[in-house]
Amino acid sequence: MQEILPDNTYSHSYPIPTSTSPIRLVTSETTSFERLSQIAAFYDSETEEYDNGYSTPLCQAEDRVWSHLIQNIVGSKVIDVGCGTGDFLKSFQPIEYVGLDISHQMAKIAHQKYGRAFIVANMHSLPFPDNYFDTLVSMYGPISYSLAPQELIQEFARVIRPEGSLIVMPYTKRVEKGEGGSISEKRILAGDYSTAINPDIKKVFYSTQMLKELFSGFDDVSIMGINFTANGIEQADKILQRVFKKEPLSVEFYQNYMLWELENMDDKDRLVEYARHAIVIARKPGKL
Ligand SMILES: C[S@@+](CC[C@H](N)C(=O)[O-])C[C@H]1O[C@@H](n2cnc3c(N)ncnc32)[C@H](O)[C@@H]1O
């Protein structure tokens, strides 16, 4: 088995079904070698700081909120697309799991952290057969790096079994404003973390309407925003910590606040363009 696995596979225990999955050549401009290299180079250079940047109480609370939303949906055979440093495994430990990323460094660190299977590949051409996984997850932004999202979603659906689930978190229009904006805008709109997404790399930022259209072929589609105000609360909390030496707000505080928002906001205010994150949960129909 070891000899036939590609060099870019960071675990030699995962039975990658190479013989049944011809790797399709993707030649469109949107997934050109130059563009993929630019994304990979950016994330290769980010790994040292990446995990530190996302360990704040607010970020931990966001993880808990999406984990809560998908707790009964994640199957036992899971592919994690754009897996980064593998932190989906902090919340879930599927029986069978493979993480996939375009960045060698991200996949390598993920494997060092979690010891599970991670491969380096382009999400537009997943090296797996049709109907192979119960669930495809893609957390915190990978689909926003696709400039051909319709094709990408078809490719995601291909590797999930009928009735299997698709869980993705695209970047929102609110994050776009933060990304391009001043330091103050970044802090309020997207948090201080928006430096971890490089504004030089073109991305697609989503609204609720765009996501409705993108996932129109799926069943049981649920599109939710996560964290509508907590960036503001986090900024206020930081000031109170600095000026009055106050203890930071807890993970539980932010978590409860975000769950309260989800339950109590009006539908017209709950659009993902107003939220720091979006999550889409959908089910692959019997036939797409
Ligand atoms: C913001 S990170 C999210 C990482 C991880 N899912 C998490 O929750 O922390 C976006 C990831 O998408 C990956 N990515 C972007 N374009 C990709 C592509 N075409 N194929 C595979 N991975 C890609 C990047 O390398 C990066 O690791």
- Note the pLDDT tens digit of each residue in 265-282: 888 888 999 999 999 999
Token pair for residue 132? Answer: 């192979």
Residue 22 alpha carbon to ligand 1 centre in Å: 23
> Cα separations (Å) of 256 from 52, 90, 251?
23, 20, 9
Is the Cβ atom of 79 under 6 angstroms away from ligand 1? Answer: no
Closest-CA residue, ligand 1 atom 15, reads 142
Q: How many CB atoms lie within 10 A of CB 173?
A: 18
* Interatomic CA distance for residues 260 and 126, integer angstroms: 37
From first to last of its 288 residues, the chain has per-residue pLDDT tens of 233 334 455 554 444 444 344 444 445 556 688 889 999 999 998 877 777 778 889 999 999 999 999 999 999 999 999 999 999 999 999 999 999 999 999 999 999 999 999 999 999 999 999 999 999 999 999 999 999 999 999 999 999 999 999 999 999 998 887 777 777 777 777 666 655 678 889 999 999 999 999 999 999 999 999 999 888 899 899 999 999 999 999 999 999 999 999 999 888 888 999 999 999 999 999 864
Q: What is the pLDDT of residue 77?
A: 97
Query: Cα(278)–Cα(172) distance, rounded to whole angstroms?
Result: 6
39 CB within 6 A, ligand 1:
yes
Pocket test residue of 24, 83, 194 for ligand 1, highest count of atoms within 8 A of CB: 83
Asked whether the beta carbons of 164 and 285 are under 8 A apart, the reply is no
Given this model, what pLDDT does residue 30 score? 60
Q: Is 227 in the pocket of ligand 1 (CB under 6 A)?
A: no
Structure tokens at 202: 């073109």
Exposed e or buried b per residue across 130-146, where buried means at least 16 C-beta atoms within 10 angstroms of its C-beta: eebbbbbbbbbbbbbbb
Q: Is the CB of 164 under 6 A from ligand 1?
A: no
Structure-block tokens of residue 71: 């707790």
Domains of the chain listed by start with CATH number: 2-283 (3.40.50.150)
| pTM summary value | 0.89
Q: Is the separation of the CB atoms in 229 and 261 below 8 Å? A: yes
Separation of 9 CA from ligand 1 center, angstroms?
16
Angle subtended at Cα 151 by Cα 147 and Cα 157, rounded to the nearest 5 degrees: 130
Q: Whose CA is nearest to atom 4 of ligand 1?
A: 84
Residue with the two structure tokens 């950016």: 42
pLDDT computed for residue 38 by the predictor? 92
Measured distance CA(226)–CA(205) in Å, rounded: 15
Which atom of ligand 1 lies closest to the CA of 142?
Answer: 12
189 lines ligand 1 (CB under 6 A): no
CB distance 82 to ligand 1 below 6 Å: yes
